[in-house]
């Protein structure tokens, strides 16, 4: 019996599940088991032997945590919107640019991911500080009399987070734009549509899968960001990951931190499911129109 036939027989006995088993076992070891420990810890307040949902109830009723969670969602929304406003035109430029300009733009977009988060944030402190580059230039130009509050607020955090997460929106949108057949846009132009009409009714709808994927990725990543709000927001911008870190490092309340982490994970799962359904619906509508 040849090795080829032997391999086919082995694959027939194992099937796809046999090939997936090692990866699934590793995934269970590094994700599902820690998640199970986290869930178990969350229902044992202060190490009590009996099960309780007190930690989950505290999330919604302690008068502080839920408002911080809402602030975290709002921050994620602002960052996602900012990335979309700046990222979509950049992705559109990269699609229409030549190879050299496209490579330069891609390098600029990806470069923040190759830089230490501490270095990035310290650089923004020098740029946006009271005596930083922006305020200095504005005062020298006579546009302001006093320094603008560009740091230790939501604006500063949005700038710092957008700087690094912009790439996670530009790349999916750029990929989606590249997948658009130029002949479709040319056909719309030949029928008398203006460039803006072609962009609004052809380019944007066909690029929506990339927009949804990139926006979801940026939103989810921002929900879990920790270090940038600490540095750029100081004690004036508090997010849920900062609360959970304080519960573990200062108050040693592992059970409450675990419950808050489960709530955050559940919310992110809901966002992911909604995003996936929206993408499938758009793809189905595109299939019906084609």
Measure the CA–CA gap between 138 and 134, rounded to whole angstroms: 6
What's the Cα-to-Cα distance from 1 to each of 9, 10, 11, rounded to whole Å? Answer: 11, 13, 15
pLDDT value of residue 35? 83
pLDDT value of residue 1? 47
Measured between its terminal Cα atoms, the distance across the chain in Å is 49
Does residue 157 contact residue 228 with C-beta atoms inside 8 Å? yes
Q: What is the pLDDT averaged over residues 230-246?
A: 90
pLDDT-derived band of residue 10, with 50, 70 and 90 as boundaries?
low
Residue 285 has pLDDT above 80, yes or no: no
Task: Work out the number of other CB atoms within 10 angstroms of the CB of residue 247.
Answer: 20
| pLDDT tens digits, one per residue of 72-118 | 999 999 999 999 999 999 999 999 888 899 999 999 999 998 888 88
Q: What is the pLDDT averaged over residues 220-249?
A: 91
Does residue 258 contact residue 41 with C-beta atoms inside 8 Å? yes
Residue 211 has pLDDT above 90, yes or no: yes
Q: What is the pLDDT averaged over residues 196-220?
A: 91
pLDDT averaged over every residue in the chain: 87
pLDDT value of residue 24? 85
Residue 234 has pLDDT above 70, yes or no: yes
The pair of structure tokens assigned to 208 is 């929506």
Q: What is the pLDDT averaged over residues 234-244?
A: 90
Residue 207 has pLDDT above 60, yes or no: yes
Reading phi first (left if > 0) and then psi (alpha if -120 to 50, else beta), residue 105 is in alpha
- Angle made by CA atoms 240, 56, 250, in degrees to the nearest 5: 50
Does residue 165 contact residue 218 with C-beta atoms inside 8 Å? yes
| pLDDT tens digits, one per residue of 148-187 | 898 999 999 999 999 999 999 999 999 999 988 888 888 8
Residue 2 has pLDDT above 70, yes or no: no
The overall pTM is greater than 0.95: no
Cα diameter, the chain? 87
| pLDDT tens digits, one per residue of 19-77 | 788 888 888 888 888 888 888 888 877 666 678 888 899 899 988 999 999 999 999 99
């Amino acid at each position: 019996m040849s090795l080829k036939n032997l391999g086919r027989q082995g694959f027939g006995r194992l099937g796809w599940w046999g090939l997936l088993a090692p990866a699934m076992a590793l995934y269970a070891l590094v994700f599902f088991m820690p998640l199970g420990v986290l869930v178990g810890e969350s229902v044992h307040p202060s190490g009590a032997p009996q099960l309780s949902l007190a930690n989950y109830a505290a999330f919604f009723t302690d008068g502080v945590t839920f408002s911080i969670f809402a602030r975290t969602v709002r921050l994620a929304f602002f960052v996602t919107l900012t990335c979309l406003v700046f990222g979509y035109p950049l992705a559109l430029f990269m699609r229409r640019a030549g190879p050299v300009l496209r490579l330069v733009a891609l390098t600029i977009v990806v470069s923040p991911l190759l830089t230490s988060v501490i270095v990035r944030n310290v650089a923004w402190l020098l740029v946006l500080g009271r005596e930083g580059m922006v305020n200095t230039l504005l005062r020298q130009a006579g546009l302001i009399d006093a320094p603008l509050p560009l740091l230790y607020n939501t604006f500063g955090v949005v700038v710092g987070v957008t700087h690094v997460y912009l790439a996670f929106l530009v790349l999916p949108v750029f990929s989606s734009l590249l997948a658009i057949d130029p002949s479709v846009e040319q056909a719309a132009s030949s029928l008398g549509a203006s460039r803006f009409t072609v962009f609004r009714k052809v380019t944007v709808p066909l690029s929506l899968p990339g927009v949804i994927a990139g926006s979801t990725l940026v939103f989810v990543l921002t929900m879990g960001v920790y270090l940038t709000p600490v540095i750029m927001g100081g004690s004036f911008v508090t997010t849920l990951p900062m609360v959970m870190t304080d519960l573990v490092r200062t108050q040693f309340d592992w059970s409450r931190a675990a419950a808050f982490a489960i709530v955050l994970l559940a919310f992110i799962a809901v966002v992911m499911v909604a995003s996936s359904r929206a993408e499938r619906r758009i793809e189905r509508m595109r299939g019906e129109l084609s």
